Structure 1
Amino acid sequence: MEASSLQQYTSNTTISRVLLSAGVLLVLWTNCIMPVPETIQWIFFAATILIAGIPHGALDHIVAKQNSNLQNHSFSNTRFYLTYVSRMALYGICWYFFPSFALLLFIVLSAFHFGETDLPLPISIHKRSAIVLQTNYGLLIVLVLLLTHAQEVLAILKIIEKENTFLLKAIFKPLHSTLIILILFALLILNFIGQYRSHRLPLQRYVNIAFRTLLILGIIICLPLPLAFAFYFGCWHSFQSLENIRQHLSNSESEHIGFTHLLQKCIPFSLLAFIGIGVLTFLATYLQTESVFLFFFFVGIAILTAPHLEVMSDMYEHLRKKEYK
């Protein structure tokens, strides 16, 4: 089973193919038929976040309980919620007082989370090596998303630009951006070569991952920022995560939880998130600035990342062990 670990944890390739095909069709439509109006882009972005982006994070309490059950540990809802909310509060305070550091931390945490989801690795690979490879992959995805949409991203980060003007302008210069992306890509290839030499997993697995990664990067680069973010986070990452959660919560091969049942479990905490988005929308309307709304929305997602990452990381560790058996 170890060799299959280089694919999706669930070995469900149907979702991957559907999402990648949809991304390619969206690129062709946007670039060859007619550009999607900006208003429609943001509506599509919001729809993907509401349908899959928020719900996949709204299951953290259920995933954490399953993690505890598999470890034969007791689970306390009160302890979980207190820990979860306290970490969100600490990270929120960090954003208020140290926005630059908080942004850097968010990028690194997101990179590892994306890499852990997209790039499952055999349990035999040392955890430190796995973290390096997955973070490298995630950083490539995140920075391609940000650096190839410099104008839109800088508009969102305008609130913290005053204390980082030189740094942001230096990073987002086309030459510097290209160099950063090429370095990360080269490091990823070297990491893959190192893992292949160490574990001798089937070469076809690496070829498949390389092709899929190039396709994802191509889609992100060719789409405007709202559609690129909607494709990767709202669709690719969120639906893959939901499928992995579904597999994790299923007790056996004959007791698989359906997506409908899974989405029903998302409702309570999804509603809370929707209320939060409503408050942000009201603030943005009151302040009459789109960039402030987007920045607040961005920070809101960032604050949820730290506790969410820990829960999901524990889940992926269980899935790796399960697939090894």
Structure 2
Amino acid sequence: MVEPPTDAKRRANRLSLAFGVLTIAAGLAVVLAAGSLPLAYQYLPLVATVVVFGLPHGAVDHLVLPRVRNESVTKRSLALVGLLYLVVGASYALVWFVTPAVAFALFILVTLVHWGQGDVYALLAFADADHLETRASRLLALFVRGGLPMLVPLVAFPDQYAFVAETLVGLFDPAGAAALAPAFEPTVRLVVGVGFGLLVVVSLALGYRRADALEPWLIDAGETLGLVVFFAVVPPILAIGLYFALWHSVRHILRTLLVDEPATAALTRGNDLAALGRFARDAAPMTAGALVVLAGLALLVPQTPATVPEVAALYLVCIAVLTLPHVVIVSLLDLEQRVWTAD
């Protein structure tokens, strides 16, 4: 794959590892200190990071492809990204209004793929993970890494998982979540738990056999096993809020910095604030646009959000609508950076 500058890559790796440790440590510390945290407080990381990590992390989609191609940003390139978001985002928003249970299931699937692809890139670009030498091994890593936040909570916290599904779907159809009930049955969760657990073991074992350098595999294994514990122990609403902000969003922001020459130069000098300040400036217009989308959804949903869980559910629906076109951009970025081309 296309290599970022060595010093900037090392800095990105240190930052991604630091925020990864922070994510897991913060969640486990809260559980150990507070035990059962009131539901409203579990939403705090998700809600508090809306305009810090949540919406901004994908708000430079109109810039990343021209930058990685060493092209200028043009009116045409901006129009194409805008059209993508309008058509794909609006189409998916319509699915939420027509068949919200299907939309929720699609949200879980798309998020699994997207969060998995984000971690595969980080392992390859930041950590030089030579044990992911084939496309098949990278696809397996994608499913494992994306499955950790999406599948482990299903097995460990089915009631809270079902509550989140009911809250999101309930914004559009209070009875619609009944269609998802089979997913929370003990037999289904047992199959998911055993099957996914085997995939985790196979992925790490094959990686160990293929690794020429042990350190990248240790990073992969440590993060994977740490996330297994994290999502098995930390209540899912709190866990997803921490993970989305401090793990996934931070890693994607670092990825965007490495295709921006001034930001890369700042990382190389160790000037993280200058690099992040440039990102914040670039992300501000589209972040404001995302807030408009959020406000529009608030006016359009049949059930007006009136509680903290319902407001958070509205935000998650907004994230879902924005994520689908964002995944298209990231997938094109993967192609440009040859993430899925084995060396």
TM-score band, normalised by the shorter chain?
A: 0.7 to 0.9
CA deviations on 1:20-65 (whole Å, 9 max, x unpaired) are 2353144223323565444333233211232111111111111133
More displaced 10-residue stretch of structure 1: 199-208 or 122-131: 122-131
Counterpart selection for 1:148 from 156, 162, 176: 156
CA contact (8 A) 2:23 2:247 kept: no
Query: Does 2:229 match 1:218?
Result: yes
**2-side partners of 1:274 and 1:47: how far apart?**
14
CA contact (8 A) 1:144 1:181 kept: yes
CA contact (8 A) 1:108 1:139 kept: no
Give the aligned residue type for 2:317: V
**2-side partners of 1:233 and 1:18: how far apart?**
11
In structure 1, the partner of 2:253 is 242
Counterpart selection for 2:333 from 300, 310, 315: 315
Counterpart selection for 1:182 from 194, 205, 224: 194
**2-side partners of 1:196 and 1:31: how far apart?**
32
Matched residue count: 319
In structure 2, the partner of 1:302 is 320
Shift in Å, 1:87? 0.9
**2-side partners of 1:83 and 1:275: how far apart?**
17
Evaluate the alpha carbon distance shift between residue 172 and residue 201 of structure 1 in structure 2; reply closer, same or farther with a 3 A threshold.
farther
Evaluate the alpha carbon distance shift between residue 18 and residue 298 of structure 1 in structure 2; reply closer, same or farther with a 3 A threshold.
closer
In structure 2, the partner of 1:28 is 29
CA contact (8 A) 2:28 2:234 kept: yes
More displaced 10-residue stretch of structure 1: 8-17 or 229-238: 8-17
**2-side partners of 1:116 and 1:71: how far apart?**
26
Query: What TM-score does the superposition give when structure 2 sets the normalisation length?
Result: 0.76
Structure 1: segments with no counterpart, 5+ residues? none
Shift in Å, 1:284? 9.4
CA contact (8 A) 1:3 1:201 kept: no
CA contact (8 A) 1:91 1:102 kept: yes
Give the aligned residue type for 1:143: L
Evaluate the alpha carbon distance shift between residue 202 and residue 247 of structure 1 in structure 2; reply closer, same or farther with a 3 A threshold.
same
**1-side partners of 2:37 and 2:152: how far apart?**
21
In structure 1, the partner of 2:242 is 231
In structure 2, the partner of 1:271 is 288
1:78-227 matches, cutoff 5 A: 78-120=79-121, 121=124, 125-127=133-135, 130-158=138-166, 159=170, 162=175, 165=178, 168-174=180-186, 176-194=188-206, 199-227=210-238
Shift in Å, 1:259? 0.7
Evaluate the alpha carbon distance shift between residue 252 and residue 317 of structure 1 in structure 2; reply closer, same or farther with a 3 A threshold.
farther
| Identity of matched residues, % | 21
Shift in Å, 1:224? 2.5
Shift in Å, 1:249? 1.6
In structure 1, the partner of 2:14 is 13
The Cα RMSD (Å) is 3.8
CA contact (8 A) 1:140 1:185 kept: no
